[in-house]
Amino acid sequence: MARYDRAITVFSPDGHLFQVEYALEAVRKGNAAVGVRGTDIVVLGVEKKSAAKLQDSRSVRKIVSLDDHVALACAGLKADARVLINRARIECQSHRLTVEDPVTVEYITRYIAGLQQKYTQSGGVRPFGLSTLIIGFDPYTDVPSLYHTDPSGTFSAWKANATGRNSNSMREYLEKNYKETSGQETVKLAIRALLEVVESGGKNIEVAVMTKVHGLRQLEEAEIDAIVAEIEAEKAAAEAAKKAPAAPKET
């Protein structure tokens, strides 16, 4: 096996591209990220690893805008992310220049995935070590979208998905608890999924919300703390209800 994992362009005898699989490992070591689609809103949440004391946390933005109506969060090698994001931003403007229309979410996802795939089939390069969650609203519609790409260049649309550290637990949680939601309920679902694997608190998660009307909005720490408090209260109430379902009413 060792002979087949050096160069990206070499298949192993059992049909694996080891460099791509190792890139997926890099993604699995990256920070947790979750995306949830509602009926009129789509939400991205990303784990924020505790910042070094001297680091200016405002310079580390994990959820970025690609255009007014499309945003992206990723898990994996952040330096690779910068390159992909830059190319995607250029493509968004280039598309507007040549066809006088903003990109659809699917178009820009296909572009990013295409870029990731190119780097799995060229000599002398390695794949991008990141998976992305792309959200947005197509122009001229009110329909929100959520897409996921990975280092192999595969992409697909999702109702809710997670990537990065412990993504399997988050995805399991989402599969169990997903239902069509809108507005604040969608935000809560995303944060609840993230809290399954991240230490609770506003300073440990970054959340951004996209609506058709307001575009991308990053939630402030205080807002996130408030929602987390609501979620914990709901959890506590559910626990209490479970413990004493037949408690007699006080007279």
Partner 1 sequence: MECVFGLVGNDFAVVVADTSAVHSILVHKSNEDKIMILDSHKLIAASGEPGDRVQFTEYIQKNVALYQFRNGIPLTTAAAANFTRGELATALRKNPYSVNILLAGYDKETGPSLYYIDYIATLHKVDKGAFGYGSYFSLSLMDRHYHSGMTVEEAIDLVDKCIMEIRSRLVVAPPNFVIKIVDKDGAKEYAWRESVKDAAVASA
Nearer to partner 1, 3 or 87 (CB): 87
Under the binding rule (CB under 8 A), the answer on residue 89 touching partner 1 is yes
Among 18, 30, 32, 65, binds partner 1 (CB under 8 A): 65
Nearer to partner 1, 68 or 232 (CB): 68
Evaluate whether 44 touches 207 at the Cβ level (below 8 Å): yes
Nearer to partner 1, 34 or 73 (CB): 73
Stretch that binds partner 1, among 37-45, 91-99, 195-203, 234-242 (CB under 8 A): 91-99
In the complex, what is the shortest distance from the CB of residue 148 to partner 1, in angstroms, rounded to a whole number? 22
Exposure of 1 by Cβ count < 10 A (0-12 exposed, 13-18 middle, 19+ buried)? Answer: exposed
Rounded to whole angstroms, the Cα distance separating 204 from 224 reads: 10
Among 86, 121, 168, 182, binds partner 1 (CB under 8 A): 86
Rounded to whole angstroms, the Cα distance separating 89 from 203 reads: 28
Task: Give me Rg for the CA atoms of the chain.
Answer: 20
Among 93, 121, 122, 154, binds partner 1 (CB under 8 A): 93
Among 10, 51, 83, 90, binds partner 1 (CB under 8 A): 90
In the complex, what is the shortest distance from the CB of residue 210 to partner 1, in angstroms, rounded to a whole number? 15
In the complex, what is the shortest distance from the CB of residue 97 to partner 1, in angstroms, rounded to a whole number? 5
14, 168, 200, 220, 249 from 35: Cα distances, Å: 33, 14, 18, 18, 42
Reported as type and span, the H/E element at residue 243 is helix 221-243
Cα–Cα nearest to 158, from 174, 142, 173:
174
Q: Each residue of 193-225: b (16+ CB within 10 Å) or e?
A: bbbbbbeeebebbbbbbbbbeebbebbebeebb
Under the binding rule (CB under 8 A), the answer on residue 67 touching partner 1 is yes
Among 92, 103, 133, 197, binds partner 1 (CB under 8 A): 92
Stretch that binds partner 1, among 9-17, 60-68, 118-126, 169-177 (CB under 8 A): 60-68
Under the binding rule (CB under 8 A), the answer on residue 20 touching partner 1 is no
Amino acid in position 251: T
Under the binding rule (CB under 8 A), the answer on residue 94 touching partner 1 is yes
> What does the binding site for partner 1 look like in residue numbers (CB under 8 A)?
61, 65-67, 86, 89-90, 92-94, 96-97
